[in-house]
A and B are shown apart, each in its own frame.
Chain A
Amino acid sequence: MQLTEHEKAIQAGEMGPARQRALAQQIEVGAFFDAEDFVPVTQAHVMADAESLGEPGVQFLEALAAMPADQRKVRIPTITDPRGADFKAYRRINHDPAFVELERRADAAFRALGVLMTDTCINYQTMMPPVRGEHLAMGDTGVVIYSNSVQGARTNYEGGPSALAAALTGRTPRYGFHLDERRRGTVRVEVRRRPETWTEWGALGGLVGRRMASYYEVPVIDGIDGPAPTSDDLKHFGAALASYGSTALFHMVGVTPEAPCLGAAFDGAPPPPAVIGEDDITDFLAGHGAADDALDVVVFAAPQLSLLEMERCAALLRGRQIHGDVALLVATNPENKHAADRMGLTRTMEDAGAIVLEGVCFYQMHARELGEANGWTRLMTNSAKLANIIGGYGYEPVLADMERCVDSAVAGRIV
């Protein structure tokens, strides 16, 4: 990789050992992906819940936090993905205090580095939507795919250590989706029936994601006509596509900025399409059902809910009572929680028996242990992403739209 004078100075240790080690790691990754040089980035977004960090990761952060200020402070605005614990509400879900303590230590270490503890995977809705062409180092697959696809910004998947390195050096290797040539469509998908609910958008994301052979595949989705999809529609679609496919960029003809028409998304003639047929979305949802109607917990998360999703959830719960044997969890970020509090939405949901959590998601909260502590096995959600991944934590997931999830929570069984 070609280095600037400034980068050579970092490499030589002139900015301290933390930045030197960060740059060295970035060069290893850059060389792996044949990056020619670094690109400065305007924001870093660090995914670092305590479950992923473990004790070794937390100790790594604490060692950084103990360094002199000029060696440890982040060089660019740096925000965080959801925590692994809601510090205010963790007792309500029987969350092991040992895990919460690990989170507190990580939180304290990040603050010492100058990181803004946003604790969100929906920063593009609530914090700072990126602009077209902006180079970033974002650390959540849903954030990456939305920023790249819906907003035309430029980022790779930057795992915690890598995003933190970018925060310390102010740059990231220029490979993957920073490059024009990597952003061209590689696969064409024709959708015959437009999704109607957030869950169906997630199902479509799963259907497309299953076809993705590698991180560099860029699907171009055609056939979404009529009114523009909403931010929440595309949030669910992208999160599921990223989860199922390890995908970082999609184009949606007539919807996303780099695909005003089909031809614009491809170099040369568009390839023949893979077709998502009339019944494929329904079949996908049917494939995520359950053998019986037992139900332990309903979870709305993955991604964190927008204010409008919270409003919908509150409207569905208003005046009703969740069954005593079922828990209903709603996860959002601190900004939306505050808004929901002052707008009365939290009160409406909690009066019905829901638990509204802030700054967390679900699968990052030591979900296996959480399930064991609460007797939760059968889990119902409207998130295709969550249904995809939560099986590995010992749950039996069922995927259905928000209305059916709420009806089931009230009935105490899957309806």
Chain B
Amino acid sequence: MATVIQGHAGIGPAVSGEVLAAADNFSARYDLDRINGVFSRPAHKLCGESYVGKVLVLNAAKGGVATAWMLREMTSRDMAPLALLLNYANPIIAQGAAFAEFPLIDRFETDITAAISTGDQVRVDPAAGTVAINGEAS
């Protein structure tokens, strides 16, 4: 049976893919080496990990206004995550997702960083605000 986790209605198209998750926060400018597609901030739990093509699952969007341009810049180079699931988005990440037509959902019924794990296969449906684990639709 698929597990479906409900969040707030999100932004962007529906996608399916593999999860990269951590109980840490997210800023495109502060945390990432966007040229090589890896987390680069030494203190970050995912430092050294590649996020390209992954459903990225983190806690809160942090700092930096630059992320709003950066999502589209990353998608244009095919060096972007597949989708972003957060406990708390901030306006910047929502604006960036709208500008880039990038899948984003936040405010889940549970801590999303604990509910799904690195390696899980999920289906992300921003219009419905849902994440289904193991790729099955709700």
Contacts and interface: CB of A to CB of B under 8 A. Distances in A.
A162 B89 CA distance: 15
7 contacts: A29-B94, A52-B66, A159-B68, A159-B92, A162-B95, A389-B63, A392-B42
Contacts of B73: 52-57
B25 to A, nearest CB: 8
Interface string B13-49: 0000000000000000111110000001111000000
Contact of A25 (B43, B61, B92, B99): B99
Nearest to A159: B68
A245 B95 CA distance: 19
Query: Which of A29, A214, A245, A394 lies at the interface centre, i.e. has the most chain B CB atoms within 10 A of its CB?
Result: A214
Contact of A213 (B60, B68, B76): B60
B96 interface: yes
Contacts of B8: 32
B88 A213 contact: yes
Q: Helix, strand, loop or mixed for chain B's interface?
A: mixed
Contact of B9 (A31, A47, A140, A243): A31
Given A31-B9, A392-B40, A160 B90 contact: no
Query: Which of A54, A81, A158, A159 lies at the interface centre, i.e. has the most chain B CB atoms within 10 A of its CB?
Result: A159
A139 interface: yes
A253 interface: no
A246 B61 contact: yes
A60 B69 CA distance: 11
A51 B99 CA distance: 17
A391 interface: yes
Interface size class of B (residues with CB under 8 A): 35 or more
A300 interface: no
B91 A156 contact: yes
A252 interface: no
Interface in B45-77: 60-70, 72-73, 76-77
Given A29-B11, A32-B94, 18 more contacts: A29-B94, A47-B65, A51-B66, A54-B69, A157-B65, A157-B91, A159-B95, A161-B68, A162-B98, A214-B88, A243-B63, A244-B63, A364-B66, A368-B33, A388-B30, A389-B29, A392-B30, A392-B40
Contacts of B67: 159
A246 B69 contact: no
A159 B11 contact: no
B23 to A, nearest CB: 13
A204 interface: no
A141 interface: yes
B103 interface: no
B41 A215 contact: no
A364 B63 CA distance: 14
Interface string A19-37: 0000001001101110000
B63 A32 contact: no
A159 B31 CA distance: 17
A140 B92 CA distance: 11
B65 A215 contact: no
Contacts of A52: 29, 66, 68-70, 73
B65 A160 contact: yes
A29 B91 contact: yes
A87 to B, nearest CB: 20
Contacts of A175: 91
Contacts of B33: 368, 392
Interface in A88-112: none
A48 interface: yes
